[in-house]
Amino acid sequence: MQYYTDINSYKGLERTAVTLGKFDSLHRGHQKLIQSIQRFAQEEHVKSVVFAFDINKDTLLTNQERRQHLETKVDCMIECPFTKDIREMKAEVFIEKILAEKLHVSYVVVGTDFHFGYKKRGDVKMLAEYAPKYNYQLKVLDKELFQNREISSTYVREALKEGNVELANFLLGYSYHMSGVVEHGKHLGRTLGFPTMNIVPADRKIIPRFGVYACRVWVDGKCFHGIGNVGVKPTVTDEMRPLLEVFAFEYKGNAYGKSITVEFCAFERPEEKFTSVEELKTRVDEDIMFGKEYFQWQN
């Protein structure tokens, strides 16, 4: 996959099938758009392009994660920073200069509520009006629904805020996850018999409800079942720095300095402040039992 962080860097000459949006989570609705341009690429021999407006707000996927998700799925990914020039570009100019002249578009695929251009004056109606002039076909896809509600990044955010990662994972079509490099902590978990791996959530990455979850932990390409606490660890520190701390049941190695990925599978309980380390250990033993029973049931 070709990858660009600036539309001006794109120099392709091939005809394209383009889908546009924020793509800040790649949920089931986003996947529907991407599958459409994949079909055009296969059947019409054009280049599949995902054009993502990078709004620079808190997100469900970091840019790196989004790139990894799309690496084998499309021909090209363009992250377009939402600069003043892009923000104030008239919708008609965007169609002419970006879609037609820059991307040589043959097929445009968007959702029913897609808006673009200065003050969001561009919409699917305008795209349809300009299609004959710039020789492209427009495909407008209906929203994906779950429980009579449109699947959206907002829906996913609400589920994560409540700790309902099972709902979030269904809406996404994959497990919500966090990645990072394992850093040294206070080694309290190791002392208590459950050595943990600590990672700091990436900047702008949305953090689920603070608490304990059953998790899958990926280390060195291998998957381990475990439990994780995301929060500020109020029993042992006053730093108030969000941290994800995981215990992988069968992992025996030294993970310090390694990049790991943690998938959230099921919420157990909110984060608590305990009166003693002994009370904490007793509760973590129960958490471990919850995690093992959860994955035993999954199998």
Domain boundaries defined on the chain: 2-148, 175-298
Answer with the residue of higher pLDDT: 297 or 30. 30
Q: Name the token pair of 234.
A: 């109020």
Task: Give CA–CA dist 44/239, Å, rounded.
Answer: 56
CATH class of 2-148: alpha beta
- The reported pLDDT for the residue numbered 189 is 65
Task: Give CA–CA dist 146/130, Å, rounded.
Answer: 33
* Alpha-carbon distance values, 40 to 49, 74, 143, 225 (Å): 11, 11, 19, 39
As a whole number of Å, the CA-based R_g of the chain is 22
pLDDT digits (tens, 9 = 90+) for 226-278: 999 999 876 656 567 899 999 999 999 899 999 999 999 999 999 988 888 88
Q: Name the token pair of 244.
A: 């994800």
pLDDT digits (tens, 9 = 90+) for 63-91: 999 999 999 999 999 999 888 999 999 99
Q: Name the token pair of 91.
A: 């919708």
* pLDDT for 56 beyond 90: no
Percent of the chain whose predicted confidence (pLDDT) is above 70? 95
Architecture of domain 175-298: Beta Barrel (2.40)
